Structure 1
Amino acid sequence: MRAVVVTEPGGPEVLQIADVEDPTAGPGELLIRTVAAGVNRADILQRQGHYPPPKGTTDTIGLEVSGHVEVVGDDVEGWSVGDPCVALLAGGGYAELVAVPAGQVIAPPEGVDLVTAAGLVEVAATVVSNMDHVGLRPGETFLVHGGAGGIGSFAIQYAKGQGCRVATTAGSAEKLEVCRRLGADIALDYHDDWVTQLKEATDGKGVDVILDIMGAKYLDPNVKSLARRGRMVVIGLQGGVKGELNLGLLLNKGATVTATSLRYRPVNEKAAIVARVAAEVWPLISSGEIKVAHETRFSIDEVQQAHEQLTGGNNVGKIVLTF
């Protein structure tokens, strides 16, 4: 099969198309013929050599795909060859075929084409599982950075649907307007003093929950922005891995800072998260209550351009690779 391989850690130029051995469906697994694969920030980190796959997982990049069932492994029920599907992966998505535990595979949302569906499952699973992790509640104020991106655009709508007041940051007037259209109550340019502006917008209280994609760069300003008993969950490291934490401020607020990685969770946990996405999120997408983010498509042969688009600073919404 054709797959994207990384010749060595580096920039987009290290991504090459090669013929590699086909994977096989083991017991409890499905083999999927890929229609499209979502492109995520984690893919950039893996390409650069900073985010290795879990032990025993293929080195091929890619955390989510859509496609059709090619082979049904032993001990798998409820699936037939040819069924359309989407899958949450630990790796392997940038390839024509991928083997995945059946519990991490679900049908696409009703009314959504397979290419678009490829960019939904990882975002939905990430946001829902982390909002459960920090116990987001109706009436709370929620902050997500990068509101015009894949995670941000979904998180804004999901939190609004949970009855929360939503704040976000973005880097241009155009992106801030996208955030407002998605439902953000507070939209702030991160080039400005967003910490002070957020404090003013919340009457000095701060925010109850932060979903953070930035990591070290925003650690101190995020803690300053938390309300008393606020909770922050770090899910991305775009701003680095080592920062300074003011423990005194955290103590005074009785606040919590935590971090999670969806990729390294056990299969049974991923299966439970994916099942919840199918049961609770897919109906919201099919009904239009959660709108699908703006989408940019590249063919698999344009994978280098796709990575350049994601890191270039002007991307809005989701990027998918088509096969």
Structure 2
Amino acid sequence: MTMRAAVCVRPGGPEVLEIRELPVPTVRDGWSLVQVKGAGLNRSELRTRQGHSPNVRFPRVLGIECVGVVAASTDPTMPEGTTVAAVMGEMGREYDGGYAQYALLPNSLLMPITTSLPWEVFAALPETYLTAQGALDALGIVRQGRLLIRGGTSSVGMAAASIASGYGLEIAATTRRQAKVDALTAVGVDHVLVDTGESLPASVHSVWAEGADYVLDLVGASTAVESLRLVRRGGTVCVAGSLSGWLIPDFEPIAMIPSGTKLTAFHSDNLKGSAGRTVLQRVVHEVEAGVYRPNVDRVFALDDIVAAHRHMEDNQATGKVVMRPESA
């Protein structure tokens, strides 16, 4: 039995993703086979494709998350037909991930979920909302205060705005494109700041003279130091994204972290498997109830994975990009 998959054959541009016919993986102890119904696409997969992820051997089926149905199980608590989601755990890096019609995944990674959502909507939630919720928790947010989201029109940024709006926070969010302002307003952002790369500190302080209470930085390495100066003294910055890469060059903590200001981080690997199941099930219920927005930008077919990566790499997306295998 064979399946179709998008294989990253070597490091490079979007064109190194090739659609191939592969054998359906054989189930082994501790792992179950999932028929993939949808996979959210993530910018970390761009960097893996480009060759920046350590210890990744090519060819590799990318994809750090997916949703689907258990097709063959080695876990009696998750029989065939169970709806599941899976996130991280080295999917698409140490072993093949979600860019395929089937994925062989560790049982410990699978999260059984009850949902009536369409597959493309469900597929937009796991990595995005688990990261957003975890990052807001890492910030220590209470149900009031002022939150600045950097990288606001990323899928995680829009999810965080949706959650934070429900908390009653006053929210500001950045975007580099004027055309994306309305999308941020629609998810509960009070102040949309168009970041030209030159005047953001002045824009933030014109809204909040003392700065934000919290900054959720989804841009990452290139902006983290500046974000530390956009919070009030004693405020908190959480770096939970890597739109600009993973490393902060020449970082000097004592010189660069204002006294009393806190810097933390969140990685979605902390909410994989059973640790994330309760959170994700709650998110699914909130989306079904219309409280949270799924923020799906575009849905691509497996055959269009190259176009999907170009769409992400060119920063065209406002929200989550989703891939659906054609026959799933």
Q: Determine helix, strand or coil for the equivalent of 2:186.
A: helix
1:138 corresponds to which of 143, 149, 152: 143
Deviations 1:202-246 (Å, cap 9, x if unpaired)? 1x2212222222222212321110222222222223224234556
The correspondence of residues 1-323 of structure 1 with structure 2, limited to 5 A, is 1-52=3-54, 59-73=60-74, 76-89=75-88, 90-91=90-91, 92-108=97-113, 110-191=115-196, 193-202=199-208, 204-240=209-245, 241-243=247-249, 245=251, 247-248=254-255, 250-252=257-259, 254-263=260-269, 265=270, 270-323=272-325
Q: CA deviation at 1:45?
A: 0.9
**3-state SS in 2 of match to 1:17:** strand
Contact 2:228 2:258 in 1 (8 A): no
- Residue 24 (structure 1) shift: 3.5
Question: Greater CA deviation, 281-290 or 79-88?
Answer: 79-88
Q: Deviations over 1:242-286 (max 9, x none)?
A: 34556345242x1122334324x5xxx522432232343222111
Shift of 1:82: 2.2
Q: Which runs of 5+ in 2 are unaligned?
A: 92-96
TM-score, length-normalised on structure 2?
0.87
Change (3 A) 1:104 1:52: same
- Structure 1 portions without partners, runs of 5+: none
Q: Provide the aligned C-alpha RMSD in A.
A: 2.4
CA 1:276–1:130 in 2, change beyond 3 Å: closer, same or farther?
farther
Aligned partners of 1:53 and 1:117: how far apart in 2? 30
State the one-letter code of the partner of 1:95: A
Q: Which amino acid aligns with 1:194?
A: L
Give the aligned residue type for 1:3.
Answer: A
Deviation per residue, 1:22-72 (Å, 9 max, x gap)? 3334444331011221111111011011124689xx942101112211011
The alignment of Structure 1 onto Structure 2 pairs a total of residues equal to 314
When residues 23 and 231 of structure 1 are mapped into structure 2, their CA distance, relative to the original with a 3 A threshold, is: farther
Deviates more, 1:278-287 or 1:293-302: 278-287
Is the contact between residue 297 and residue 317 of structure 2 (CA under 8 Å) also seen in structure 1?
no
TM-score (norm 1): 0.88
Change (3 A) 1:53 1:77: farther
Shift of 1:309: 0.5
Q: For the structure 1 residues 35 and 238, does the alpha-carbon distance in structure 2 shift closer, same or farther, using more than 3 Å as the test? A: same
Q: Is the 8 A contact 2:30 2:107 kept in 1?
A: yes
Counterpart amino acid of residue 154 in structure 1: A
Residue type of the alignment partner of 1:144: I
Deviations 1:287-312 (A, max 9, x none): 10101103311111111000000111
- Greater shift in the superposed pair: 296-305 or 309-318: 309-318
What secondary structure, in the 3-state scheme, does the structure 2 residue paired with 1:136 have?
coil
Aligned partner of 1:181: which letter? Answer: A
Q: Deviations over 1:73-118 (max 9, x none)?
A: 1xx2332212333222431111221122334333456331112211
CA contact (8 A) 1:139 1:164 kept: yes
Q: Report the AA paired with residue 228 of structure 1.
A: R
Deviation for aligned residue 1:318? 1.2
**CA contact 1:170–1:188 (8 Å) conserved in 2:** yes
Alignment check: 8 A CA contact 1:220 1:244 kept = no
C-alpha change, 1:184 and 1:261, in structure 2 (3 Å) is same
